[in-house]
Structure 1
Amino acid sequence: MIALGCDHGGFNLISAIKKHFDEQGIAYKDFGTYSEDSVDYPVYACKVANAVVGGECELGILCCGTGIGISMAANKIKGVRAAVVSNDFGAEMTRRHNHANILCMGGRVTSVEDALRYTDIFLNTPEEGGRHDKRVAMLTELDNGITSFD
């Protein structure tokens, strides 16, 4: 199951993604928001992030106006690796190399067509091990309080 969340700036993208998932038969849980009325993005970032790290959902997708604020909020939750993407290569590599567990996009800077393509790439790209496992483990160390790799 995929966790979905957005603020007012990402509402149109999440709505398009939900429709896409319905057509594809992809299970999701919608954590809101449910309109274009102004809301605070950290609320929805927190809901989706906790669903992902808690195991309720396998991956997450978050949208705000740019994708930046909501990704920053999500990344405050231990265990989250949220990434803003703006092209196909980024959507693939953030999963393949960085093992990202939440995709972030901006409703004011990303077209629906691009967002659906990035979503499909993100969901269908496997995590690559090897040299990347060490780097992902280092991200986990940062989550756990390490402040230097000296």
Structure 2
Amino acid sequence: MTISIGNDHAGPDYKKAIVDYLENNGHQVINHGTDTFESVDYPDFGHAVAYDVESKKAHFGIVICGSGNGIVMSANKHQDIRAALCWTKEIAELARQHNDANIISIPARYTSIQQAVEMVDTFLSTEFEGGRHANRVNKIACK
């Protein structure tokens, strides 16, 4: 599976741990994130990941910023993106099961690196349930 990842200055350590986890589990990674703690603009990275998922260059996306909010707002500006802000693996699971989320947003300042890796694992291994949720998901996009 190909996963696109992007992060701002709050997430280089998170990105490294997640990329290591993904590559060790046979995934290909497209890296749009910064590797430094110098201030950068999170929308640049959120949009890059969203473009990859939207264009099917990547199966899923991962975005990381301090609160997870700004970068998830940026990603969700894209028509076919359903980016979910997650802070527990249970929320990551529900985002996939009920909302067919295709990008997970991680708040680096409010989760540990271990939690982030666990959320990514849960997110990627959980299937969309469809059924009653499919109609709701179809109503999300304003087409």
TM-score (norm 1): 0.91
In structure 1, the gaps of 5 or more residues are: 145-150
In the other structure, the counterpart of 1:58 is 59
In structure 2, C-alpha distance between the alignment counterparts of 1:2 and 1:41, rounded to whole Å: 18
In structure 1, C-alpha distance between the alignment counterparts of 2:31 and 2:74, rounded to whole Å: 18
Report matched runs for 1:117-128 at 5 Å: 117-128=118-129
In the other structure, the counterpart of 2:76 is 75
In structure 2, C-alpha distance between the alignment counterparts of 1:88 and 1:57, rounded to whole Å: 22
Query: How many aligned positions are there?
Result: 142
Aligned letter for 2:67?
A: T
Cα distance, 1:125 vs. partner? 0.1
In the other structure, the counterpart of 2:101 is 100
- 1:56-87 deviations in Å (ceiling 9; x for gaps): 00100000001111001111111110011111
Cα distance, 1:22 vs. partner? 2.3
CA contact (8 A) 1:11 1:36 kept: yes
Where 2:10 maps in the other structure, the secondary structure is: helix
Where 1:8 maps in the other structure, the secondary structure is: coil
Where 1:72 maps in the other structure, the secondary structure is: helix
In structure 2, C-alpha distance between the alignment counterparts of 1:35 and 1:24, rounded to whole Å: 25
Where 2:81 maps in the other structure, the secondary structure is: coil
Are 1:23 and 2:15 an aligned pair? no
Where 2:123 maps in the other structure, the secondary structure is: helix
Query: Which stretches of structure 1, 4 residues or more, deviate above 6 A after TM superposition?
Result: none
In structure 2, the gaps of 5 or more residues are: none
- 1:67-108 deviations in Å (ceiling 9; x for gaps): 111001111111110011111210101001100000000111
| Cα RMSD for the two superposed structures | 0.9
Cα distance, 1:3 vs. partner? 0.4
Aligned letter for 1:133?
A: A
CA contact (8 A) 1:11 1:107 kept: no
Cα distance, 1:136 vs. partner? 0.6
Sequence identity percentage: 39
Larger CA Rg, structure 1 vs 2: 1
